[in-house]
A and B are shown apart, each in its own frame.
Chain A
Amino acid sequence: MTDGSVLPALAAALQPGTALACFVGVLLGTIVGVLPGLGPAAAMALVLPLTLKLGPAAGLVMLAGIYYGSMYGGSTTSILVNVPGEAASVVTTIDGYRLARRGRAGAALAVAAIASFVAGTASVVALQLFAPLVARAALAFGPAEYFAFTLLGLVVLANLTGRSRVKALAMVALGFMLSTVGMDPLGGAVRFTLDVGGAQGGLSFIAVTTGVFGVAEVLAAAAAPSSATPAARVAFRDLYPSREELRRSVAPILRGSGLGFLVGLMPGPAATIASFVSYGVERRVSKHRSELGTGAIEGVAGPEAANNAAAGGGMVPLLSLGLPFTPATAVLMSGMLLQGITPGPFLLRDHPNVFWSVIGSFYVGNAMLLVLNLPLVGLFARVATIPARYLMPVVLVLCAVGAFADNNNLFDVWVMIGAGLLGSAMRLLDYDPAPLVLGLVLGPVMERSLVQALTISRGEVSGLWDSALSASLLVAAAAAASAPLLAAAWRGLRRGVR
């Protein structure tokens, strides 16, 4: 099953247990996407204990289903209620909600679902082609190359995340700090545990993720004034876009799919960035660009295609290099490690069934999502209106179960509560939690590769850039770090000349 063709992947994904896991995953993902606040990373962390029972292939397929299913669900509330379920669907509110107010909600929802399906499927084709190629290239990676690549990824992440690069990098460093609690990854020394027995194995990634995303979201909901927006009702017969709407959607969907996949390869909130980039491109190149912002179908088709394609692109670095660059793929990696599977260049060789099941499930899951989303759209829209006073307490209990079940240890529940308070403080002080979570996951990778590279080079720091590949990656990281500063200096210079 290493020829890269579609049939083996589909055969692996259509095993009854795997297909059922895929269905449950995409259904949960759609609901998570519909619910504002609770993002895919927190939801995936919540069901992690459940996926252990399912075995590697079905468990990971369910987690992946939640990840890309959430991209579908996010558009529903954007269009019907003007409340984006996901950050990646914020841009869909601009034209989607205006279309709904003009009585074209059904058409907008149908185009969003079709765009998501086309882009999701196209991105899997690209993933299936690229992931094995990148994995083969990654066999040339030694510790120095891994160190340089991870550094490059984190610098790019800081450039793309939030409003401040310095704050994003500070959160990465804080994540690194948290990752040093417990056993040192090479020497086995126990660090920063304050003699607490439960901390020896390190801070649970699931406890921290459910805390900074889930618990912090509940606390934010408690701080916010109660509000309920009635959802528009959409009858099944209204879900037919006109021929003109379909014709106008084709080019934005194709552009969004290509752009989304490429942006998805980059670290950071790729799905969100992809949707904004796609909207920006439509504003420049669309024949109907003057209508964008007033309820144009292009403003739904392009961004919805882009955010789904980005989810596929984000799988490439995880599956082929073992490096997750988004919180959701970090949870997926955590799920793989819990199942005894190490993602990276050897994944395809060592666990072909798991690799092809996950790839195949993207095809099957996208088809399921299309079938699910069109007829059940009204139901999903009503899910979004469940009052926070009933939903959020349930989220708290699920967070606690998820945190406890990671190691069957009450210490992790305290970690989750602490991470929730930290996450709330971060919101108040305008820090993004995503770089912290990635720092926590990538900290041991950075530490291990740095120590190994220095040991191999007998203490010569130049060992970090001795090979052409690691040198190029470090130069790229330096360029990425200095680019915004140089751009600011250039703008200042031009203002001075004027």
Chain B
Amino acid sequence: MARRDLAGATALAVLAIVYLVANRRYALDTLAAPGPGVFPLAVGVALLGLVVCQAVGAIRSRGPVEPAAYGDKHGRVLVLVALLIGYGVALHVVGFQVASFALVLLASRVLGARDWLRPGVLAAGVALAVHVIFVLWLGVPLPRGVLP
């Protein structure tokens, strides 16, 4: 618990410092006419104060180390994250329907499907349903990609 809290506090502290440095580009002006930098300054300082409190609490805590409330199949998570990033790129290239078909097919396998038939049928069904509902009915211009 303490180690996790310390890790979280450190990550948030780095984020708050980067945010405050980036906020230097925006004017503070006066209290009577606050500029666009005032609210972010207050938020960044508040976050920094909070993570200091959290870090102090974590250091002073003498409780037992609790395991993370998360599963242990981290390899599957990493493959799924890679699939998601690939999906984001594929949306630009091959368009929504093809990318979504591939995502459902491969993600089903990653999550434990043992054959290709059922994930394939599911992927085709999802791609078709998305096209009918969102493109044909709702008129959402889902990306078609750059391939002819």
**A residues at B contact (CB < 8 Å):** 49-50, 52-53, 164, 166-167, 169-170, 173-174, 176-177, 180, 184, 187, 189, 191-192, 215, 218-226, 387-390, 392-394, 396-397, 400-401, 404-405, 408, 410, 413-414, 417, 420-421, 424-425, 427-431, 443, 446-447, 450-451, 454-455, 458-461
Cβ of B124 under 8 Å from chain A: no
A173 to B19, CA, bound (A): 12
Cβ of B62 under 8 Å from chain A: no
A389 adjacent to B111 (CB under 8 Å): yes
With contact pairs A166-B53, A170-B50 given, residues A223 and B77 touching in the complex (Cβ less than 8 Å): yes
* Nearest-neighbor residue (CB-CB) of A457 within chain B: B32
Contacting residues of chain B (98-126) with chain A, CB-CB under 8 angstroms: 100, 103-105, 107-108, 110-113, 118-119, 122-123, 126
A166 adjacent to B104 (CB under 8 Å): no
A174 to B50, CA, bound (A): 11
What are some 10 contacts across the A-B interface (CB < 8 A)? Answer: A164-B5, A167-B54, A177-B40, A218-B107, A222-B73, A389-B112, A400-B100, A413-B91, A430-B5, A454-B31
With beta carbons under 8 angstroms apart, the residue of A219, A387, A394, A450 that contacts B81 is: A219
Q: A158 to nearest B CB, angstroms?
A: 10
A170 adjacent to B51 (CB under 8 Å): yes
Residues on B with beta carbons closer than 8 Å to the beta carbon of A189: 26, 35-36
Residues on A with beta carbons closer than 8 Å to the beta carbon of B34: 450-451, 454-455
B69 adjacent to A390 (CB under 8 Å): no
* Secondary structure dominating the interface of B: helix
A184 adjacent to B36 (CB under 8 Å): yes
Residues on A with beta carbons closer than 8 Å to the beta carbon of B57: 164, 166
Residues on A with beta carbons closer than 8 Å to the beta carbon of B19: 177, 192
Residues on B with beta carbons closer than 8 Å to the beta carbon of A404: 96, 140, 142-143
Residues on A with beta carbons closer than 8 Å to the beta carbon of B47: 170, 173-174, 177
A446 to B134, CA, bound (A): 35
Residues on B with beta carbons closer than 8 Å to the beta carbon of A177: 15-16, 19, 40, 43-44, 47
With beta carbons under 8 angstroms apart, the residue of A191, A393, A408, A429 that contacts B26 is: A191
Residues on A with beta carbons closer than 8 Å to the beta carbon of B44: 177
A428 to B69, CA, bound (A): 7
B104 adjacent to A393 (CB under 8 Å): yes
A397 adjacent to B126 (CB under 8 Å): yes
A52 to B134, CA, bound (A): 12
